[in-house]
Amino acid sequence: MKQNTVSEIARGLGCPVDNNLSRQELSEQAIAALHILQKVIRAASQSNPSFENLIIHPPFRDASLDGILPDGINQTMHAEQNIQKALAGDKECQYQELIAKLGLQEGKHVIVPIAGKYVPCAACSEVESEAKGPDGLFDPKSEKFVLHRSTQRIGMAFWDEVQHIAIEGLDADQGKALAKGIAIRDRFYENPEKLQASHREMVEDYSFDTDSASSEDDSIL
C-alpha cells in the first residue's frame, strides 16, 4: 500500500490543491497517516484494545433545545465538524507537535485528510468551504492546515436534523467566526442559490465518498 501511495502521489494523483509541500513531503504525510490507521487496526485486534490513536467524540447535544424541537427532528454534529472543532480549539499547539513529528519547517502545510464512508453533506461542505477562506482553519495562506477531500461531490441537506457546526474553524477571530456561522445558516434559509451545493448535480443519499458517479451504497456490501 505504501508503494502504491507514493507512486500515485508522484504522478500527482490524490494530491490536495493549494499546498506548499514537495511530492516527497506529501508522501511522508500520507505514509504517516497509514501508520496511524495500522496502529488503530492492530489495537482493535487485541483482547483489551486501548485505542490510543483513536478519538471518539460523544454525540453533541444542546440541552436548551430539549422540548422545543418538533417530533422526528434530531440534533447532531457530524464527524467532520467534531474534527474541525477539536483542531481549531488548539491549532497552534497541534500544528507545532505535528511539524515536529513530520520533520517539517515552520510554515509548511499539514494535510488534514477528512474523509468518511459517504460524501460530505450540504452543511459540512458549506462549512468546509468557509473554513478554507481568509483566516479560516484551512486557509492555505495561514501556512498551517490544508483540508483534503477525496471527492468534489456534495451530498444532501438533512431536513430532519438540527446540525451544529464547528464555528471555531471559520475564522481566527471568534466574533467574525460567529458572523460567518450565522451567514451559513441564513444561506440555507434565505439564499439557497448561494450555497456550494446549488446548481450541482444531485447526489443520492449516502453515496460513497468518491468522485465515482456510480458509488451508491449497496446492501450486499
Check whether residue 174 and residue 70 sit in a common domain.
Answer: yes
Domain assignment present for 221 = no
Q: Are strands 74-76 and 145-148 parallel, antiparallel or unpaired?
A: unpaired
More confident residue, 210 or 180: 180
Of the residues 54, 71, 95, the one at which a domain ends: 54
Same domain, 116 and 64: yes
Residues 31 and 133 in one domain: no
C-alpha cell at 221: 456490501
Instruction: Indicate if 70 and 125 belong to the same structural domain.
Output: yes
Give a yes or no: residue 218 inside a domain: no
For residue 135, give the C-alpha cell: 483566516
CA separation for the pair 84, 77 (Å, rounded): 11
Q: Which of 54, 77, 94 is the last residue of a domain?
A: 54
pTM across the whole model: 0.86
133-165: per-residue pLDDT in tens?
Answer: 999 999 999 999 999 988 888 888 888 999 999
Q: Which of 6-20, 41-55, 58-72 has the lowest mean pLDDT?
A: 41-55
C-alpha cell at 91: 491549532
Q: Is the dihedral of CA 96, 102, 105, 111 positive or negative?
A: negative
Total tally of structural domains belonging to the chain: 2
Residue 215: is its pLDDT beyond 50? Answer: no
